Amino acid sequence: MADITMYDLPGCPYCAKVRSKLDELDLEYDVIEVPRSHSERTEVEEVSGQTGVPVISDEANGVEGMSESDDIVEYLEETYGASA
Ligand SMILES: N[C@@H](CCC(=O)N[C@@H](CS)C(=O)NCC(=O)O)C(=O)O
């Protein structure tokens, strides 16, 4: 199991942006696909307090349920990018 878990929805452009950054940084991550129905997105709601995706957790750094694709991309770059 990888340290990073991403909550994802196929076809979601914001999720694609985050996946692209994870791949660019060559990071290992597990993907959990959330249901299309918001009322069924219980797991992502438990970790992040909301039902939108993308969301990531990063056990290695004590990050649980980070949402907002721009914040996630910035976090990944700052934590794992060339200047980290
Ligand atoms: N500002 C958010 C937008 C994310 C967003 O709109 N995600 C869609 C799927 S593509 C979603 O889950 N919307 C439902 C919601 O926000 O509750 C981001 O950049 O992460």
CATH number, domain with residue 61: 3.40.30.10
Q: What is the mean pLDDT of residues 74-80?
A: 98
Ligand 1 binding pocket includes 53 (Cβ within 6 Å): yes
- In our burial notation (b when 16+ CB lie closer than 10 A, e otherwise), range 26-53 reads ebebeeeebeeeeeebeebbebbeebbb
pLDDT in tens, 17-35: 999 999 999 999 999 999 9
pLDDT at 25: 98
* Whether residue 56 has pLDDT greater than 90: yes
Across all residues in the chain, what is the average pLDDT?
97
Q: Please count the structural domains in the chain.
A: 1
* Whether residue 84 has pLDDT greater than 90: no
Q: How far is ligand 1, taken at its centre, from the CA of residue 83, in Å?
A: 28
pLDDT at 74: 98
Range of the structural domain that residue 64 is part of:
4-80
For ligand 1, atom 9, name the residue with the nearest CA: 12
Q: What predicted TM-score, i.e. pTM, was given to this entire model?
A: 0.96
